[in-house]
Chain A
Amino acid sequence: MNNAEIASFEFYLIIFLTILLIIFLRLLMVRFLKNRKIKFEQKSKEVFIHFLKIIINSLEGLEYHKNWLEKDKRVLDFLKKNYIVNARYRPSIATELLNLHRQLKGNAASRLSDVYYNLGLDQTGINYLKLGKANLQAKVIRDMTQMNVSSALPEIRRLLNSRDSTVRMEAAIALLRFEGVAALKELEEISGLTDWQKIKIVETAKRMGIDNLPNLKLALYSKNEFIIELALILIDYFDLDFDEDALAKIISKINYNQLLFSVPLIVKSKSILLIDELFRVFNLIQDEYVQSEILKNIKFFYEPKLIPYLLNIYYLDRFEDSVRLEAIRSAQKIAGQLDMELNISHIALNDEKMLNMYKHAIDPLI
């Protein structure tokens, strides 16, 4: 090994050792910061529990008095000054408070809500909504909704147009909860939600109950595709009346999601007009799954006029086999309910594949 090679080797060794040292220091730093965070959280928890003890012990009973915090103002101010103003402790204490509030109801929940407002956590939350990162904004909207902070509404409305879809979803849920019947107009603006975000909004709306929701009949005329989906699902869920013409218009648009959600309403309405419209657009549907699902769900509409439509799909080989099978199964089911005999054409009975489908449909074990 000559001198130049030794120098080069030494150079690379130094570089390698330096990188190793940097990685080691970085790991050490991460560990230190993580431990510090855990320590802060632990300390915050202890402070919060201690604070709870003071508050709860100073009460004579579990009754609720409007000014119950007055005599504990000093304790509250101490907590605020030392732990809420301090950004290191504040998130953990706020989280503890909100967790506890979620698990209790009645006077206990009202008292925790009072503590939340008196500590100024509502104002801090509004500031986060104005300036915070998207993941923080989503969490704060949830907190504000839980604590019913109506002064946050203007900010929440603004976040309906956030670039982050989770923030948009949380804002929509918050508006539904805050404004109920008045929320529909504002939700018109919402777009770009993922399927699970839509499901979350639908589930929230179901839990809210029909009396707290916007007029769902009007929602069928919405320009927003998601609002129409929401209305279709909820009209079915709450078993509400709806305008058949509006539904016919929705069916004619051939939006797959909306078509699938329309079928239960068609079954409930027992409307021949809607059946005609559905099978008019059926040929234009390009998705095998959507076609099969429509046929699977339409079998609960026991109407003889449906059978020719279903048999027609069964006869046509341009439809996928799975779709044709669903058609003959539904036709058989409806005929069975109406005590009718299915008259299958000779062509179908001579075709082996079609015969097998038919046998499958009439098999009582399937």
Chain B
Amino acid sequence: MVTPQVWVVMSKVLLVCEEPSLGYTLTYALANFNIDVILCHDGNKALELLSQESFDLLITEILLPFYSGIEVIDQFLEKKSLDKVLILSAFNNFNFLYHSLNTNDINYLIKPYNPVDILNFIQTNE
């Protein structure tokens, strides 16, 4: 897959990823494409950031310390729509998510995933 070398993205992205090395890898990789990524590692910090700042896109894991990804998504949905959310998951059973979010129409990537797919998600929502 060929990705653009120079790419200016105006979106501001909140990335919630528990594992620091994975979070930083994705942040650095996305930063190469001039994407403004704010990284945090737990649900509490994510909720705090969402209450303070406005984000265009949310990329989050579900299993997080303190508050789960569902609560983070819930708060994000107060201002934005679900198509602006990308869920990163280690499990491929999303029944509990469908019930929690009341819809089957969710964007998700299952581990192991390719960072290019995250880029594509951001690009399509730009």
Are B2 and A63 closer than 8 Å at their CB atoms?
yes
Number of A-B residue pairs, CB cutoff 8 Å, is 67
Q: Contacting B114 at CB < 8 Å: which of A56, A63, A107?
A: A107
Q: Contacting A102 at CB < 8 Å: which of B20, B31, B32, B112?
A: B112
Min CB–CB distance B47 → chain A (angstroms): 24
Given contacts A100-B21, A104-B112, contact A63 B3 (CB under 8 A): yes
Residues of chain B within 8 A (CB-CB) of A106 are 114-116
Interface residues on A, range: 20 to 34
Are A56 and B32 closer than 8 Å at their CB atoms?
yes
CA distance A180 to B2 in the complex (A): 32
Q: Which of A94-142 contact B (CB under 8 A)?
A: 96, 99-100, 102-109
Min CB–CB distance B38 → chain A (angstroms): 16
CA distance A203 to B119 in the complex (A): 33
Q: Mark A34-50, 1 if CB is under 8 A from B, else 0.
A: 00000000000100110
Residues of chain A within 8 A (CB-CB) of B32 are 56-57, 59-62
Residues of chain B within 8 A (CB-CB) of A285 are none
> B111: CB under 8 A from chain A?
yes
Are B25 and A57 closer than 8 Å at their CB atoms?
no
Q: Which of A15-60 contact B (CB under 8 A)?
A: 45, 48-49, 52-53, 56-57, 59-60
Residues of chain B within 8 A (CB-CB) of A61 are 3-5, 32
Q: Which of B10-48 contact A (CB under 8 A)?
A: 19-22, 24-25, 28-29, 31-32
CA distance A106 to B29 in the complex (A): 13
Min CB–CB distance B4 → chain A (angstroms): 8
Closest B residue to A46 using CB positions: B20
Residues of chain A within 8 A (CB-CB) of B5 are 60-61
Given contacts A56-B28, A100-B25, contact A45 B20 (CB under 8 A): yes
Are A62 and B115 closer than 8 Å at their CB atoms?
yes
Are A104 and B115 closer than 8 Å at their CB atoms?
yes
Closest B residue to A55 using CB positions: B28
> Most A CB atoms within 10 A — which of B4, B25, B32, B115?
B25
Are A105 and B3 closer than 8 Å at their CB atoms?
no
Q: Contacting A49 at CB < 8 Å: which of B21, B111, B113, B115?
A: B21
Min CB–CB distance B104 → chain A (angstroms): 25
Are A56 and B25 closer than 8 Å at their CB atoms?
yes
Are A108 and B20 closer than 8 Å at their CB atoms?
no
Q: Mark B98-111, 1 if CB is under 8 A from A, else 0.
A: 00000000000001
Residues of chain A within 8 A (CB-CB) of B20 are 45, 49
Residues of chain A within 8 A (CB-CB) of B3 are 61-63
Closest B residue to A97 using CB positions: B21
Residues of chain A within 8 A (CB-CB) of B22 are 99-100, 103-104
Are A104 and B2 closer than 8 Å at their CB atoms?
no
Are A62 and B29 closer than 8 Å at their CB atoms?
yes
CA distance A51 to B22 in the complex (A): 13
Residues of chain B within 8 A (CB-CB) of A60 are 5, 32
Min CB–CB distance B73 → chain A (angstroms): 21
> Most B CB atoms within 10 A — which of A60, A61, A96, A105?
A61
Q: Contacting B19 at CB < 8 Å: which of A99, A108, A109?
A: A99
Given contacts A62-B3, A96-B21, contact A104 B28 (CB under 8 A): no
Min CB–CB distance B118 → chain A (angstroms): 10
Are A108 and B25 closer than 8 Å at their CB atoms?
yes
Are B21 and A45 closer than 8 Å at their CB atoms?
yes
Closest A residue to B25 using CB positions: A52
Closest B residue to A54 using CB positions: B28
Are A56 and B29 closer than 8 Å at their CB atoms?
yes
Are A104 and B114 closer than 8 Å at their CB atoms?
yes
Are A53 and B28 closer than 8 Å at their CB atoms?
yes
Are A108 and B2 closer than 8 Å at their CB atoms?
no
21 A-B pairs (CB sep. < 8 Å): A45-B20, A45-B21, A49-B20, A52-B25, A52-B28, A53-B24, A56-B29, A56-B32, A57-B32, A60-B32, A61-B32, A62-B3, A62-B116, A63-B2, A63-B3, A96-B21, A100-B21, A102-B112, A106-B114, A107-B116, A108-B29
Closest 7 CB pairs of A and B: A106-B114, A56-B28, A105-B112, A49-B24, A103-B111, A100-B21, A61-B5
Interface residues of A (CB under 8 A from B): 45, 48-49, 52-53, 56-57, 59-63, 96, 99-100, 102-109
Beyond A53-B24, A96-B21, A99-B22, 14 additional pairs, beta carbon < 8 A = A45-B21, A52-B24, A62-B3, A62-B115, A63-B3, A99-B19, A103-B22, A103-B111, A103-B113, A104-B22, A104-B25, A105-B114, A107-B116, A109-B112
